[in-house]
């Protein structure tokens, strides 16, 4: 039986994979980088063996060539930070917890650990955050969305010039890192098309203003574009309101007569039910980007896992 790195506790490297697959180290390296120079069959063998042996990439490899040549185990740990504004922890937001778990899993796949950094922790200042980032050897940060009611931006308590980062969603405007976000525009197209395939004809969009603004009105833009391109009749005017949500929703349901409502929160479903409408008998409800609750309706799932 071939000797494996697990037998003596050292980390798996390219040579170990190459030996067990029966190819060169260069072939293994190219396969792991998904190079077109390697056949699909060989690539599949290399990837399968790498997974079996528990191989993970080392992000410090380019700066630690001596470590690779000498095959010494080092305690050096490459860290990333997950910045959030929930001083009571992730238990107050299933959404943020889901984002954290997805980031943590992908960081581990790339050889990094993920540290949580709370910007609203008591006593947190720019100087204190800078000290934490340095002491933990954090080399990049992921910025979680900020609750709109907080009225706070991360740039107030961290120096964006100190470290590279990326923002999730549109709520963080300071610092202006690159951003990654759910495709709200495409979600409306998919939601509209899926509900139409189910036989619904009068498809409506109902959002509170804060929810629409939070995603730069991209749901509204997609909804309007879909109706313009695909419908000549049966159009339903979208409902985007700031106040008097219940009364406005009631008037809209009566006047526009949608047979299904695209929306974001359970509050809309609860309000429709409280107004005497039966779901889905009187009107259907489909949720946009809603992963974390159960309800008698359709939903569009945004996948946070890598």
Residues 168 and 208 in one domain: no
Residues 206 and 271 in one domain: yes
Residue finishing a domain among 165, 180, 195: 180
Q: Is the pLDDT of residue 286 over 50?
A: yes
Average pLDDT over residues 286-296: 65
Model pLDDT, residue 16? 86
Q: In this predicted model, what pLDDT tens digit does every residue of 180-207 receive, in sequence order? A: 988 888 888 888 888 888 899 999 999 9
Model pLDDT, residue 251? 96
Residues 90 and 137 in one domain: yes
Residue finishing a domain among 180, 196, 230: 180
Residues 60 and 157 in one domain: no
Residue 264 located in a structural domain:
yes
Residue 305 located in a structural domain:
no
Residues 55 and 161 in one domain: no
CA 224 – CA 244 distance, rounded (Å): 23
Burial group, residue 139, by CB count within 10 angstroms (0-12, 13-18, 19+):
middle
Model pLDDT, residue 62? 40
- Beta strand 113-118 with 79-84 is parallel
271 versus 34: the higher-pLDDT residue is 271
Residues 290 and 198 in one domain: yes
Q: In this predicted model, what pLDDT tens digit does every residue of 62-121 receive, in sequence order? A: 455 455 555 554 444 679 999 998 888 777 788 888 899 999 999 988 889 999 999 888
Domains held by the chain: number: 3
How sure is the predictor about 303, in pLDDT bands with cuts at 50, 70 and 90?
low
Instruction: Provide CB contacts within 8 A for 133, sequence distance 6+.
Output: 81, 117, 141, 158, 162, 163
Residue 215 located in a structural domain:
yes
CA 52 – CA 6 distance, rounded (Å): 11
Q: In this predicted model, what pLDDT tens digit does every residue of 6-59 receive, in sequence order? A: 556 678 888 888 888 888 888 888 888 787 778 888 888 989 988 888 887 766
CA 154 – CA 141 distance, rounded (Å): 12
Helix (H, G, I), strand (E, B) or coil at 241: strand
Looking up residue 204, the CATH number of its domain turns out to be 3.40.50.2300
Helix (H, G, I), strand (E, B) or coil at 165: strand
How sure is the predictor about 234, in pLDDT bands with cuts at 50, 70 and 90?
confident
Q: In this predicted model, what pLDDT tens digit does every residue of 133-143 receive, in sequence order? A: 988 889 999 99
Report CA-CA distances (Å) from 243 to 209, 246, 248, 277: 9, 9, 8, 21
Q: In this predicted model, what pLDDT tens digit does every residue of 121-174 receive, in sequence order? A: 888 888 899 999 988 889 999 999 987 777 778 888 888 888 899 999 998 989
Give the CA-trace dihedral at 24, 29, 32, 38, to 10 degrees: -60
Model pLDDT, residue 144? 93
Q: Is the pLDDT of residue 4 over 60?
A: no
pTM higher than 0.75, yes or no? Answer: no
Residues 21 and 53 in one domain: yes
Q: Is the pLDDT of residue 224 over 80?
A: yes
Q: What percent of the chain has pLDDT over 70?
A: 84
Residues 197 and 261 in one domain: yes
Residues 134 and 208 in one domain: no
Adjacent-strand bridge partners of 261? 204, 285
Residues 210 and 293 in one domain: yes
Residue 127 located in a structural domain:
yes
Residue 105 located in a structural domain:
yes
Model pLDDT, residue 150? 76
Residues 266 and 237 in one domain: yes
Q: Is the pLDDT of residue 304 over 70?
A: no
Residues 202 and 265 in one domain: yes
Looking up residue 25, the CATH number of its domain turns out to be 1.10.260.40
Model pLDDT, residue 246? 93
Residue 306 located in a structural domain:
no
Residue 260 located in a structural domain:
yes
Residue 304 located in a structural domain:
no
Residue finishing a domain among 130, 146, 180: 180
The length of the chain, given as a count of residues:
306
Q: Which domain holds residue 172?
A: 79-180
């Amino acid at each position: 039986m071939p000797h494996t790195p697990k037998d003596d506790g050292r980390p798996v490297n390219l040579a170990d994979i190459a030996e067990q697959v029966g190819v060169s180290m260069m072939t293994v390296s190219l396969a792991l980088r998904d190079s077109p120079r390697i056949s699909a069959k060989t690539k599949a063998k290399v990837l399968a063996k790498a997974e079996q042996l528990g191989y993970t990439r080392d992000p410090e490899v380019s700066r630690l060539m001596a470590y690779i040549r000498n095959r010494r185990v080092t305690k050096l740990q490459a860290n990333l930070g997950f910045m959030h504004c929930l001083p009571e922890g992730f238990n107050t937001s299933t959404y943020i917890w889901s984002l954290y778990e997805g980031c943590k899993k992908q960081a581990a796949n790339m050889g990094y650990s993920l540290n949580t950094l709370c910007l609203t922790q008591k006593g947190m200042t720019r100087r204190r955050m800078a000290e934490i980032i340095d002491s933990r050897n954090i080399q990049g940060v992921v910025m979680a969305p900020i609750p709109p009611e907080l009225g706070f931006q991360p740039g107030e308590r961290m120096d964006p010039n100190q470290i590279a980062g990326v923002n999730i969603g549109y709520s963080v405007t300071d610092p202006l890192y690159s951003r990654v976000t759910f495709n709200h525009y495409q979600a409306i197209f998919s939601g509209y098309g899926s509900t139409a395939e189910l036989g619904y004809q009068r498809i409506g969009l109902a959002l509170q203003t804060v929810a629409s603004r939070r995603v730069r009105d991209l749901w509204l833009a997609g909804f309007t574009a879909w109706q313009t391109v695909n419908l000549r009749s049966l159009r339903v005017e979208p409902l985007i309101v700031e106040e008097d949500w219940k009364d406005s929703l009631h008037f809209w349901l009566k006047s526009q007569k949608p047979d299904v409502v695209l929306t974001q929160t359970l509050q809309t479903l609860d309000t429709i039910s409280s107004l005497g409408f039966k779901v889905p008998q009187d009107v259907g409800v489909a949720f946009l980007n809603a992963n974390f609750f159960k309800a008698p309706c359709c939903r569009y799932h945004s996948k946070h896992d890598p």
